[in-house]
Structure 1
Amino acid sequence: MRMIFAALAQDAGLLGTDCRHLNEQWLQLPLFDSARETREFETLLTRMSQRHRAGLAPAALAAEGQTR
C-alpha cells in the first residue's frame, strides 16, 4: 500500500486520473454503497449476537460476498 501512496504522491497525472475516476464513478463504486455496507454490518452484528447467545467464542466472521 505504501508503494501505491508513494507513486500517487510522485505522479500528479496518476493522482489526477484516480481523482477523476472517483468523481465520475462514485455512485457506482461498491466502496460508496452505504446501504449495502449497512445491511452487511447489521447482518454481522446479528450473527455475532447469535453466536454469543449460543455460548460460542468470538470468531472472525466474513461479510456476505466477502472472500477474505
Structure 2
Amino acid sequence: MLHENTKKHIEIAEKDLPLHCPMPDMVSWNSHPRVFLEIEKEPNQEIICPYCSTKYKLVK
C-alpha cells in the first residue's frame, strides 16, 4: 500500500538500509528525486532529508 508523503518523522530498521527518500511505500507523483541518505554514518543515527525535511531515525 502506498502512503502520501506527509509523515515528517519516520523510524526505520536495518532492513530498510540503504535508506533513500522517498521510501518505496510512498507515492511518487508528488515526490522529489530519490536521494540516498547515509544514516549509518551519523553519530546519533538520525538524518534529515535535504529535499523534504523528513527526519529519519534508525532504531535497532
Normalising by the residue count of structure 1, what TM-score does the alignment of the two structures yield?
Answer: 0.16
TM-score, normalised with respect to structure 2: 0.17
Q: Which has the higher helix share?
A: 1
Larger relative CO (CA 8 A, sep 6+): 1 or 2? 2
Task: Decide which structure has greater strand share.
Answer: 2
The structure that has the greater radius of gyration is 1
